[in-house]
């Protein structure tokens, strides 16, 4: 590129210098320029006794400074008042895509491990724009050692303008880190998993399984470790953040994760996390991902179905004999099958299935429901599905929804009538609920169908709902109101227990009259939503009610 130089005292068109465009790194496979890399990092510090057991530990998650100097072919890492430069003379090995550097100064040893496309033997199918690093500093003292480990993903981050805002993607991931259970040996953990990203709604989930290895003894403590997290994408920047749970072989902790995408079009990602547990344990680690087209993207929101999926649908069902009479109500589990093409098949337990498509849609009396109607034998099945997402002006659920089914119980001439209210969605991993502490509150709605056996009349009912969860005590409580234009059935209180991260079927007691049962569950990666079906009997009013209640926290 030829640059015209101004203000040099000569306007006579003399010779000008040819200046080359500055060199920049386009991938990590061949570094052609010095650079301070974008990164996501987590640090773990621990005091380790002579017995190899941890006596104190702490974790943090924050970016560090990691830079490459082309002239000396060296790397410098610095964070939290610590720094070290690793030059080629300090490299002890570089094979199979992994480079190891070591520096010993008196009683202190620094060790840097890099897994990167710039190292000989690195796989061509592995990330090319991001790399993995971890820096261990060990200061040996009298009777104990002070150890710090910094895990980080570094590389060439994606421009904010290049982050997709449509579609979804699945990333194959690797996880690395250190867990420090008090009174036991500190352990490295390593494993594989996936991260799913919904760019439309700005949601992500991640999961992995791993194994633990003793930091001193090198003992393989075994597999069985699970790591589960979720979060949201920034709407304007290249960033995401969320919550994460580490369930180790003898520890459990929760914390936060933060990350970003790497590569020109977000082909790769990196995240760091730090957790702490009530048992005194803590972890620090990183997640390193590469987009993988062979993975089927997961549904992260009930408002944006990207893959076909079958959901267990907890239901409250009521059947009425032909000609009327006493109703039979119960809780039962059916299924709801959804497709990316837009169809929904509702199969209540013991009742006919109905595959609902756009051609079955009818006008709904409630704009927050989508109504369907289709012929079945000599009768008609009607279904109403509560809308998920921002199009619902009453309650914008993300991870769960509910609906109703009503129609003949069979094609027989003497068929009775069946009604089912069902709840389904993206359930919460029970281990996540087990790890939660404190309390949470949820507000939402309740809908149902009331049947009066004296008049053989059915009518819709609805009201507001609220729930309170005590994770420490393992229980839930709450209430919802039910009424319609002609009858107010009053308020109904609910309560039940939570064991091993699962909400048990609880009781329903009417403030005025009535009793029944409620079968709630948690939905969303961290239990952001809560609800389930209910069935109620009010003998004094000859009334049976089946319905569903749902709420969201925050």
More confident residue, 437 or 310: 310
Segment 166-179, tens digit of pLDDT: 999 999 999 999 99
Residue 334: what pLDDT?
98
Segment 251-309, tens digit of pLDDT: 989 999 999 999 999 999 999 999 999 888 999 999 999 999 999 999 999 999 999 99
Share of the chain above pLDDT 90, in %: 83
**The tokens 């109403």 sit on which residue?**
384
Q: Which fold has domain 309-553?
A: Porin (2.40.160)
Check pLDDT > 60 for residue 18: no
Check pLDDT > 70 for residue 320: yes
**The tokens 């500055």 sit on which residue?**
22
Check pLDDT > 70 for residue 318: yes
Structural contact between residues 131 and 115, judged by C-beta atoms closer than 8 angstroms: yes
Check pLDDT > 50 for residue 181: yes
Structure tokens at 223: 């597999």
Structure tokens at 17: 């210098």
Residue 48: what pLDDT?
87
Q: List the beta strands (DSSP E) in 263-368.
A: 268-276, 282-291, 309-320, 328-338, 344-347, 354-356, 361-362
Residue 166's SS3 state is coil
Structure tokens at 231: 């979060």
Equal fold, 35-291 vs 309-553: yes
Please state whether 102 falls in left (phi above 0), alpha (psi between -120 and 50) or beta: beta
Segment 183-210, tens digit of pLDDT: 889 999 999 999 999 999 999 999 999 9
Structural contact between residues 139 and 146, judged by C-beta atoms closer than 8 angstroms: yes
CA 460 – CA 548 distance, rounded (Å) = 12
Q: What is the average pLDDT across 469-484?
A: 98
**The tokens 């290049």 sit on which residue?**
162
Structure tokens at 90: 């300090």
Check pLDDT > 80 for residue 226: yes
Residue 8: what pLDDT?
34
Structural contact between residues 414 and 322, judged by C-beta atoms closer than 8 angstroms: yes
More confident residue, 471 or 215: 471
Kindly report which listed range (243-247, 257-261, 352-356, 363-367) carries the lowest average pLDDT score.
243-247
Q: What is the average pLDDT across 417-428?
A: 98
Residue 480: what pLDDT?
99
Residue 5: what pLDDT?
23
Segment 112-133, tens digit of pLDDT: 999 999 998 898 889 999 999 9
Please state whether 106 falls in left (phi above 0), alpha (psi between -120 and 50) or beta: left
Residue 54: what pLDDT?
84
**The tokens 């390593």 sit on which residue?**
190
Residue 21 confidence class, pLDDT cut points 50, 70, 90: low
Closest to 405 measured CA to CA, from 416, 387, 417, 421 = 421
Check pLDDT > 50 for residue 4: no
Residue 143: what pLDDT?
85
Please state whether 266 falls in left (phi above 0), alpha (psi between -120 and 50) or beta: left
The domain segmentation of the chain, as residue ranges, is: 35-291, 309-553
Q: Find the DSSP H helices in 302-459.
A: 430-435
Phi, psi of 398 (to 5 degrees): -110, -45
Mean pLDDT, the chain, rounded, equals 93
Share of the chain above pLDDT 70, in %: 96
Residue 22 confidence class, pLDDT cut points 50, 70, 90: low
Check pLDDT > 50 for residue 240: yes
Closest to 259 measured CA to CA, from 240, 273, 278 = 240
Q: What is the average pLDDT across 411-416?
A: 86
Residue 153's SS3 state is strand
Domain 35-291, classified CATH 3.30.70.2860, yes or no = no
Residue 13: what pLDDT?
42
DSSP state of 73: T
Residue 435: what pLDDT?
83
Residue 506: what pLDDT?
99
Structural contact between residues 504 and 532, judged by C-beta atoms closer than 8 angstroms: no
Structure tokens at 258: 């933060």
Q: What is the average pLDDT across 67-89?
A: 97
Residue 20: what pLDDT?
53
Name residues whose C-beta falls within 8 Å of residue 260's C-beta, 6 or more positions apart in sequence. Answer: 38, 40, 157, 158, 238, 239, 240, 269, 270, 271
């Amino acid at each position: 590129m030829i640059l015209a130089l101004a203000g040099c005292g000569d306007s006579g068109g003399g010779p000008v210098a040819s200046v080359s465009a500055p060199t920049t790194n386009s991938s990590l496979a061949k570094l052609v320029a010095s650079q301070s890399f974008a990164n996501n990092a987590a640090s773990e510090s621990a005091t380790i006794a002579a017995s190899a057991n941890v006596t104190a530990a702490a974790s943090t998650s924050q970016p560090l400074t990691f830079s490459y100097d082309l002239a000396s072919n060296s790397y410098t890492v610095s964070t939290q008042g610590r720094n070290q430069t690793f030059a080629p003379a300090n490299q002890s090995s570089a094979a199979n895509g992994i480079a190891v550097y070591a520096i010993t100064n008196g009683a202190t040893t620094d060790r840097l491990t890099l897994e990167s496309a710039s190292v000989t033997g690195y796989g061509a199918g592995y990330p090319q724009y991001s790399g993995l690093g971890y820096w261990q500093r060990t200061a040996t003292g009298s009777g104990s050692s002070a150890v710090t480990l910094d895990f980080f993903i570094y590389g060439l981050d994606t421009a904010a303008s290049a982050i997709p805002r449509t579609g979804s993607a699945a990333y194959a991931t690797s996880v690395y880190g250190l867990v420090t259970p008090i009174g036991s040996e500190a352990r490295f953990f390593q494993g594989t998993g996936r991260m799913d990203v919904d760019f439309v709604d700005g949601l992500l989930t991640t999961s992995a399984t791993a194994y633990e290895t003793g930091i001193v003894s090198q003992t393989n403590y075994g597999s069985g470790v699970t790591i589960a997290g979720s979060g949201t994408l920034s709407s304007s920047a290249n960033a995401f953040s969320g919550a994460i749970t580490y369930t180790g072989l003898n520890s459990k902790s929760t914390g936060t994760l933060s990350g970003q995408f790497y590569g020109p079009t977000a082909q790769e990602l990196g995240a760091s996390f730090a957790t702490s547990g009530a048992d005194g344990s803590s972890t620090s680690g990183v997640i390193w991902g590469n987009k993988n087209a062979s993975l089927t993207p997961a549904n992260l929101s009930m408002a944006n179905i990207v893959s076909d999926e079958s959901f267990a649908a907890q239901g409250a069902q009521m059947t009425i004999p032909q000609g009327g009479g006493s109703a039979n109500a119960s809780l039962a589990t059916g299924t709801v099958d959804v497709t990316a093409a837009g169809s929904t098949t509702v199969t209540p337990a013991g009742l006919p299935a109905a595959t609902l498509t756009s051609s079955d849609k009818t006008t709904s009396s409630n704009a927050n429901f989508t109504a369907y109607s289709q012929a079945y034998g000599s009768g008609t099945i009607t279904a109403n599905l509560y809308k998920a997402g921002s199009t619902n002006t009453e309650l914008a659920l993300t991870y769960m929804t509910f609906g109703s089914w009503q129609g003949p119980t069979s094609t027989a001439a003497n068929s009775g009538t069946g009604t089912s209210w069902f709840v389904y969605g993206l359930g919460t991993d029970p281990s996540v609920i087990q790890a939660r502490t404190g309390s949470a509150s949820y507000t939402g709605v309740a809908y149902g169908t009331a049947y009066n056996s004296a008049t053989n009349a059915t009518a819709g009912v609805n009201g507001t709902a609220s729930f309170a969860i005590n994770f420490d005590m393992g229980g839930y409580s709450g209430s919802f109101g039910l009424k319609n234009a002609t009858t107010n059935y009053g308020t109904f209180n609910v309560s039940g227990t939570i064991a091993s991260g699962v909400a048990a079927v609880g009781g329903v007691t009417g403030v005025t009259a009535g009793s029944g049962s409620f079968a709630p569950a948690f939905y969303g990666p961290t239990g952001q939503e809560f609800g389930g079906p209910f069935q109620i009997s009010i003998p004094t009013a000859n009334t049976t009610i089946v319905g569903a209640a749902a709420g969201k926290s925050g």
